Chain A
Amino acid sequence: MTIRIVHYINQFFAGIGGEEKADHKPEVREGAVGPGIAFQQAFGEEAKIVATVICGDSYFNENMAAATDEVIGMIEKNKPDLVLCGPAFNAGRYGIACGAVAEAVVDRLGVPVVSGMYPENPGVDLYKKSAYIIETSNSAAGMRKAVAPMARLALKLARGEEIGSPEEEGYIPRGIRQNQFASERGSKRAVEMLIKKLKGEEYTTEYPMPVFDRVTPGAAIKDIKKAKIALVSSGGPVPKGNPDRIESSSASKFGKYSLQGIDDLNPENSETAHGGYDPVYANEDLDRVLPVDVLKEMEREGEIGSLHEYWYATVGNGTSVANAKRFAAEIAKDLLAAGVDGVILTST
């Protein structure tokens, strides 16, 4: 059966016009248009570009949500097995449009996407996790060189074949870690790497060290005696029985729990769900992880304005940064809505 492909391009590559036509609204045309003709040749009989969706770069970037919906609707109607976007080379707005379309196709339609961009195109960093982006030169002069690897990868994806490494396939590394079995055990690979390093020979690390975000501390609270303080913890402090079943490692959720009527945490009303440290002492007296007793006392004595009625808890053990960021964004929204001035974050 012929593989059905839908191609997304901008107004320029569709031959409609340059910057003056960049507000062109989404339209769909049957078959291959512009660069699609070269792709069709590369696919031969195996795949057919059934439709081309065209949208002006300004229109897309200025109406991103609506334009995405329109474009996705047009793509969906043509029931693709795979979607091609671009290539966008170093055109920033075109790259962002290609990336946004790719992300929406993958997320909403579950269809694989191949795009092509110059590594410095801003669309790369934004969308490389969603789609395979083949590395191209910085201008359309590199079209011929871009078509072959994009077409090859597209066919592989559509056939459901295993995708090789970025070097093998020519795509920009997506920053996604994937397991596989090596031909030698880890210890032997380590010894060989050390011998090379000692000899001053070239070696390749299997994991380039991460670069972390740095968070600028917030401004100091001016009057602590009026401030509303909240407790948030990744040490796993939960009500007895762990009602939300927060995982002992790799948490997929956080919990929000009321402090109403609680002046002290004890083995009857609370426990830790965390699987990464000795829980015995936390379970004896959970104030050791979440200092409710002290804060309630300070609230009574007027040392702080008030203690927020809820505490928020998750488990930090092995929890991915992506999940942690999502929890933090949701918790912060809730804290802001409740007029909280300061937060005490406890870990383990």
Chain B
Amino acid sequence: MRLEVGNILIKDIQFGDRTEVKEGVLFVNRDELAKVAGEDDRIASVEVYLAKPGEEIRIIPVKDVIEPRIKVSGKGGVFPGLISKVDTVGEGRTHVLKGAAVVTTGRIVGFQEGVIDMAGPGAEYTPFSKTMNVVLKIEPVEGLHQHEHERVVRLAGLRAAEYLGRAGQNVEPDHIEVYETKPLLEQVKEYPDLPKVVYVYMLQTQGLLHNSYVYGVDAKQIIPTFIYPTEVMDGAIVSGNCVSACDKNPTYIHQNNPVIHDLYERHGKDLNFIGCVITNENVTLADKERSSNMTAKLVEFLGADGVIISEEGFGNPDTDLVMNCYKIEEKGIKTVLITDEYAGRDGASQSLADSTEKGDAVVSTGNANEIIKLPPMKTVIGYPEVADIIAGGTDGSLAEDGSITAELQIIIGSTNELGYGFLTAKGR
């Protein structure tokens, strides 16, 4: 599968009469975007705001972040099985409004939604303080069940991202990257002397606000399977979860999966990247056993010499991470794990809920329990009072002056376990 990704660099966003990209500026027709996003009987209202890097703006509670993309050639459309037909994607050409993002907020669904600060100390911990954000505040109709509330907001965000992405359809990209993984036997032949590497891509599937979707299917119900890396770039995997804000994978980070990009970076030089195995993180032991067995079997079948395994979430899924590691290492295949840590506010407790001696190569993306103080911002989009109840917050997190003192856990992407950020934890 070969995909050309055309990046159109977005340097600024502004409201305008029509939605278009002109000389690196994304103009957004506010009403039209609100209409497209709000096309659902279960949505009562959609408000659109802009938030740019450096502005004193806080967005809370954030549900998802999505990158505007559009298929220019090749089969299917973005987010297949959800807002496009369920064609297999990942081939042809896709245009990206690089530097722009859709951020969804609104009344809280559960506990797990997070914070984006566009300035101040909190901004250093989230990748989305560096993007030009089109923020949608989406309110559902009264009495909507939580599961439906989550779904309605998720789909509205995807529609908005596709709508904005369409503005890039006929724009000449600033640069084009080409990514290709061939069918297994051909791919192995291409670099016969390089070690074969598979990426084991764990998807959060613990239930409401802990779900992920693959071609529209709730990943709870999948048996681990093979996926080409370029399918992911076209939105084959979508976030339906808000695990904890710090270590959920927003749809944006799936679209830009850094493990995939950094493996491609060394593809043909130090390794032969033969593809991804997606697996889930269900809550029952039988599910965990089945999925880790199947994952190990598939990785072996593909002939991998080494794998990178990324986790999503913490605690319960630590067991899935450890089972995957143990069973894959048992087959003589080398593993590297990516996880974050919950070492307590003082950093003195053990960081994971499960352990294996075979996990001797671990990348840490930081201790999510560490406390941060976020100063007040001039503008708050959303509902600041949820700071007291979201995961990582505590009664009294929100002070009268509007500042928030809470764990890093509340910041979107702060300890992202795909390794999107630079944070790590060290033994002291």
Partners in one complex: yes
A interface vs B, CB < 8 Å? 129, 163, 165-166, 173-191, 193-195, 197-198, 203, 205-212, 245, 247-250, 252, 275-280, 316-318, 320-323, 348
7 CB < 8 A contacts A-B: A178-B428, A191-B308, A206-B364, A248-B393, A279-B208, A318-B342, A318-B369
Q: Are A321 and B424 in contact (CB under 8 A)?
A: no
Partner of A179, one of B363, B367, B388: B367
Q: Are B367 and A187 in contact (CB under 8 A)?
A: no
> A-facing mask of B188-223, CB < 8 A → 1, else 0?
000000010100000000111110000000000000
Partner of B419, one of A129, A186, A277: A186
Residues of A within 8 A of B266 (CB): 191, 195
Q: How far is the CA of A273 from the CA of B130 in the complex (A)?
A: 33
Q: Are B259 and A191 in contact (CB under 8 A)?
A: yes
Partner of B110, one of A205, A209, A275: A275
Q: Are A185 and B336 in contact (CB under 8 A)?
A: no
Q: How far is the CA of A278 from the CA of B341 in the complex (A)?
A: 22
A sample of 13 more A-B contacts (CB under 8 A), given A180-B423, A194-B306, is A179-B370, A180-B425, A186-B420, A187-B418, A190-B308, A191-B308, A198-B271, A206-B426, A207-B339, A245-B388, A248-B393, A318-B314, A323-B349
Distance to closest chain A CB from B42 (angstroms): 17
Assuming the contacts A177-B343, A191-B308, asked whether A278 and B363 have C-beta atoms less than 8 A apart, the reply is no
Residues of A within 8 A of B209 (CB): 278
Residues of A within 8 A of B420 (CB): 185-187
Q: Are B418 and A176 in contact (CB under 8 A)?
A: no
Q: Are A165 and B419 in contact (CB under 8 A)?
A: no
Most buried by B among A177, A205, A208: A177
B interface vs A, CB < 8 Å? 110-112, 124, 145-147, 195, 197, 206-210, 244, 258-259, 261-263, 265-266, 270-271, 283, 305-308, 310, 314-316, 334, 336, 338-339, 341-352, 355-357, 359-370, 388-395, 407-409, 416-428
Q: How far is the CA of A203 from the CA of B352 in the complex (A)?
A: 21
Q: How far is the CA of A323 from the CA of B343 in the complex (A)?
A: 11
Distance to closest chain B CB from A120 (angstroms): 19
Distance to closest chain B CB from A204 (angstroms): 9
Q: Are A190 and B336 in contact (CB under 8 A)?
A: yes
Q: Are A249 and B355 in contact (CB under 8 A)?
A: no
Q: Which residue of A lies closest to B195 (CB)?
A: A198
Q: Which residue of A lies closest to B269 (CB)?
A: A195
Partner of B352, one of A195, A209, A275, A348: A209
Q: How far is the CA of A189 from the CA of B427 in the complex (A)?
A: 17
Residues of A within 8 A of B210 (CB): 276-278
Residues of B within 8 A of A187 (CB): 258-259, 261-262, 338, 418-420
Q: Are B349 and A320 in contact (CB under 8 A)?
A: yes
Q: How far is the CA of A261 from the CA of B368 in the complex (A)?
A: 40
Partner of A210, one of B355, B393, B421: B355
Residues of A within 8 A of B368 (CB): 318
Q: How far is the CA of A189 from the CA of B350 in the complex (A)?
A: 22
Residues of A within 8 A of B355 (CB): 209-212
Residues of B within 8 A of A197 (CB): 306, 334, 336, 361
Q: Which residue of A lies closest to B338 (CB)?
A: A190
Assuming the contacts A179-B425, A195-B271, A206-B424, asked whether A318 and B262 have C-beta atoms less than 8 A apart, the reply is no
Distance to closest chain B CB from A201 (angstroms): 12
Partner of B348, one of A129, A179, A280: A129
Partner of A206, one of B262, B343, B363: B363
Residues of B within 8 A of A277 (CB): 206-207, 210, 283, 316
Q: How far is the CA of A165 from the CA of B424 in the complex (A)?
A: 14
Distance to closest chain B CB from A328 (angstroms): 14
Residues of A within 8 A of B111 (CB): 248-249, 275, 279
Distance to closest chain B CB from A134 (angstroms): 14
Assuming the contacts A176-B428, A276-B316, A277-B207, asked whether A207 and B408 have C-beta atoms less than 8 A apart, the reply is no
Distance to closest chain A CB from B362 (angstroms): 4
Q: Are A275 and B423 in contact (CB under 8 A)?
A: no
Q: Which residue of A lies closest to B417 (CB)?
A: A186
Q: Are B419 and A320 in contact (CB under 8 A)?
A: no
Residues of B within 8 A of A250 (CB): 342, 345, 369, 391-392, 394, 407, 409
3 tightest Cβ-Cβ pairs between the two chains A and B: A186-B419, A278-B207, A320-B344
